[in-house]
Structure 1
């Protein structure tokens, strides 16, 4: 079965109406969206190649999942190393919040450097 190609007039030229196939609907989280913005801005050729090969969505979903796992693993490891636990939370809640925020910020920076802003 032959595919019918349609054209659109642009000035003196007839250009084919090209359309990418439907990509699977996958929920991409914050890490995947940040990596997408990074690719669009700093690696447009890689972004275009992934998009036109219909691999972009799966790639971003994979990055998002890996980054999320890495973030939670780092937060747990750093909290354990620094003694930020439920006892501290019960004894001094404000200190616990401050230290956990510090740990989360450091873990976030590590994920950015290792996964999001790297290709």
Structure 2
């Protein structure tokens, strides 16, 4: 690997270009992971940023979290009888119960996925 340098005020500065080939979107859970890494694991954040793996890591975490949350929400909604019949009969009650289920699911599932390498 050959590095190119740019001369600025008699200093040679390496031209560092990080190839970013992953174009998947980073959603809510990926952004939460980014914030956690930036605040609590800056060493890991900087290393992934320099290696060009940060975006793909965040996209992977987001996809895994989204899939796990959706599966758990569907399972809990089925167990609690929150279905299309309730949605047609009482949309406001359905929305309230679904929001409660989603919040409980995120509270239970996300710490393991997003903050798995928290400082002890």
Alignment correspondent of 1:49: 47
Contact 1:20 1:52 in 2 (8 A): no
The structure 2 residue matched to 1:107, chosen from 92, 105, 108, is: 105
Looking at structure 2, the residues matched to 110 and 36 of structure 1 have their Cα atoms a distance apart, in angstroms, of 19
Alignment correspondent of 2:19: 22
- Structure 1: which 5+ residue stretches go unaligned? none
Q: CA deviation at 1:20?
A: 2.9
Q: CA deviation at 1:2?
A: 5.8
Looking at structure 2, the residues matched to 4 and 43 of structure 1 have their Cα atoms a distance apart, in angstroms, of 30
Name the SS for the 2:48 alignment partner: helix
The structure 1 residue matched to 2:64, chosen from 63, 66, 85, is: 66
Q: TM-score, normalised by structure 1?
A: 0.84
Q: TM-score, normalised by structure 2?
A: 0.83
User: Considering only aligned residues, what root-mean-square deviation do their CA atoms show, in Å?
Assistant: 2.1
Alignment correspondent of 1:6: 6
**C-alpha distance 26-89 of structure 1, shift in aligned 2 (>3 A):** closer
- Structure 2: which 5+ residue stretches go unaligned? none
